[in-house]
Each structure stands twice: as structure tokens, then as C-alpha cells.
Structure 1
């Protein structure tokens, strides 16, 4: 399976997006934020897709996860050590994906050109390290309450990549 992105990324308060390059409207962002909500709950889903955007919620607001994106021809098998979320789909107007956390700070991650071009894509999202990140974040948060900002930043930086995501895209009509 060709890996097209493999990088540790910053998040925006624990969130990051994988979106079609054209999905930049406020309406698209509102749609995906509504999709991630769980009705009658203060909690949200780990991920959701809507309006050309896949939104992923990290384990902690300070997470800097390792993100791997793969483009495959058909539905792949779910292999360990990944914990797999229910498969979803996303409609991509251009077939070109960007990874985004805070739109005012572009990430050093290449644009992903899906060979199938525009269309509907199935998405499999696997994750690992979420529980470890939550545990370590609680520890680092407690240990850095009264330390200089540089020491606090260094402690959080040491957790980079502990939480990991594998996101696979394939044309929806090819199910295996």
C-alpha cells in the first residue's frame, strides 16, 4: 500500500482535518462539526466526515499525533495493532486532499492526489496510543504546572507521535 503521508503533525486544540482542497467554506466546517457531535451528550465521536472533510479528534488538546495516509485500490483488511473506527465515506470535489490543523499555519505535509480523481471515497481510520496519550498528558500536565514555559513545551514535545492514526482512502465502488 503506498503511503502518501507519514508525519507527526500539530493539532488545533486536539483536532485535525483531512479535507478536499475545495472544502474551505464555513458551511463545510459547520457540517463536519455537527457530524462529530453525539446528540444529547457533551462527548463527541472520534471522527466524522461531511462536506468533503474528515475531522479527527485527538486524545488530548496538546496531542501531536503521527499521521499516516495511504491510498489503496480496494477495502483493506483491518490489522492490528490498530483500533478501527466504523468505515465512513467522503465526497471529494477535486480528489486532492490537504491535512490541516490551524488554517493560519499551513502544515509541511504534501497535497495527496487521489488517482481516482473527484468522487466518493471510502475511508478507514485506525488509531493506536490514545489511552497512552491521555495517561501521559495527565502526568505532564500535573508535572508542568509551575515550571518555565520552555520546560513545559519540551515535556509536551516528548509526547509527539505517541498517538498515531492510519487513514486509508479508496474509491467507494471498489469494496474488495
Structure 2
């Protein structure tokens, strides 16, 4: 695979037919010519409708966390929908650290529902409510149309339950 997803995250994984194409696609992701767009259901409503979380992430004794000695990590978010106590966010990444979205959202006080490591338990979903929904190739040398995957049933059901 060209990209990876955290365990429990649903959505798009890009595969290449050759090592040469895989290397080119990986480089394009690193250089931000292919944009990865995620969707997450979080507790609370961020004060700003959109923003950037720029906090370094370190792996300390096998646990990833915010730490000044860590590697640069930037997460962009936009509130798509907010309702009493919850939000659906659209997220894109400048960097792609392991668990980056989950760590950043938890750190700013908006943990992902169903994420037992960094987030909060939910009665409506048994995995992190995080979905890799789009791959955008607009800036890419590859002339591929945007790839999109609809929210899976469990996340759609979660949204329905929270809005009831």
C-alpha cells in the first residue's frame, strides 16, 4: 500500500501496481501533492470553525504523545456539522505521524468517539469514529480523479444516534 490507516480507521487505502509507481505516489503524498482528507466524530465543538493544530509528537516508551522533543506534526480541521456536545470534522494533514489525528484532537479537548486509547468510549460505535474519506490528486502529476469513500454504516449510525 501507498498509504496506511491506524487500526480501526475506515476508508481509502491506495495501492500501486509497481514499486516504481508506489515510490512516486509516496513522494507525492510527502510533498502534499496528494491530499488525504479524513472525517471524525468528536466530543465537543471546537471554538473556531476551522484551525490548525501544530504540536510535535514523540514516541516515549512505546506511547505516542505531545512532547516538545517530538517530530513536527500539523493537522488542519474544519467543523462540518455541530450539535449538542458533538462535532463532525473534516481533517487534512501536512504530516502523517502515527495516531496524529487522534492525539491532536484529544490534546485540544475534542477526543474522537470510540477511540479507547486517546478518545472516549461510545455506546454507538466500537472503534475510533475516524474515516479516510478522500484522496485528492489535483496537484499530482497523476491524472486521477478524486477518490472518495462514503461514511461507513457504523459512523452513519453514530451520527444518526447522536442527532436523535
The alignment's TM-score, normalised by the length of structure 1, stands at 0.24
The alignment's TM-score, normalised by the length of structure 2, stands at 0.26
